Amino acid sequence: HHFLSVLKFVTEAYRVLQPGGRLLVADTSEPDNAPEGDAWHNHIEVLRDGSHVRNYTPREWRGFVAGAGFVLEELDQVGESVPITLRAWLKKAGCHGEAAAEVRRLFLEAPAAVARTFSITRMPDGDIRFQWVRIGLSARKPV
């Protein structure tokens, strides 16, 4: 989600792999057919970390893999196994001041569908807990 062109990355991976070689990717993702959550999540990611480009949907990942010539073996979409806390997530990226305040506001005012998708929960200490959606994919270069 920090590549300017995921298709170029996947195409280059295809080029350097030997026939039968495998590409494995694990990354944050957006659910298919959830444009509101997609827009919300990618917006707060850019506010938090200016190097963020975009989290892609499983459909988009399938297109990147096929477009490069790979055969998709498996693509699973899963939630985080352990919730993330907003304070720690912002600190990890060095996000503070106005940007951090805006991200917090967006979490607190997240639309109901977004809050459900990302399990956004306010904690008793005032922090916010959430879980991103992730993809894991395996693709093979044909022999």
Residue 1 confidence (pLDDT): 86
Give the tens place of pLDDT for each residue, 71-128. 999 999 887 778 899 999 999 999 999 999 999 999 999 999 999 999 999 999 999 9
Residue 70 confidence (pLDDT): 98
Residue 76 confidence (pLDDT): 95
Residue 109 confidence (pLDDT): 97
Whether the model pTM is above 0.75: yes
* Mean pLDDT, rounded, for 6-13: 96
- Render the chain in DSSP notation, one character per residue: ---S-HHHHHHHHHHHSPTT-EEEEEEEE--TT-HHHHHHHHHHHHHH-TT----B-HHHHHHHHHHHT-EEEEEEEEE-SS-EEHHHHHHHHT--HHHHHHHHHHHHT--HHHHHHTT-EE-TTS-EEE--EEEEEEEE---
